[in-house]
Amino acid sequence: MAEKHTLLLTVRGYELDSYNHINNAVYLNYFEHARWEYFKALDLMPSLTESELSLVVTDIHIRYQREVKLFEELIVESSCFPEKPYLIFQQRIIKKSTNLPAARATTKLIFVDKEKMARDIPDGLLKRLK
């Protein structure tokens, strides 16, 4: 499995729902933001850009474990591995103050070309992930 990347986030007021904790849909944003930061931090963006392909989420499974409130600091851990033709991300969100998990997700992504046809993982990216 490729390197693990961590990202620190702080819960913002507009992410809260009527129960005064973050809305379940906000987790999708946190996980996606962390995936892009993973590519950036591990210098994988050039491989993505050169391929002229786009990444599309085909499947995501989230397990919500604990509520998260306003101004809590969160650590998002991300790791990625290829499972041709997909990239699989394993991610989890941890409450920094307690070190307890708040959520975990497994996300499956596929590359598509300009005509929206599925393509293999670009060789440059595949080499970096192995």
Q: Where are the domains of the chain?
A: 5-129
* pLDDT tens per residue across span 15-34: 999 999 999 999 999 999 99
Active-site annotation holder among 17, 59, 113, 120: 17
Listed in sequence order, the residues at least 6 apart from 13 whose beta carbon sits closer than 8 Å to its beta carbon are 70
Residue 17 among the catalytic residues: yes
* pLDDT score of 6: 97
Place of tokens 């490729």: 2
Q: Which CATH number describes the domain made up of 5-129?
A: 3.10.129.10
Residue 83 banded pLDDT, cuts 50, 70, 90: very high
Say what the pTM is. 0.93
| Mean pLDDT for the chain overall | 94
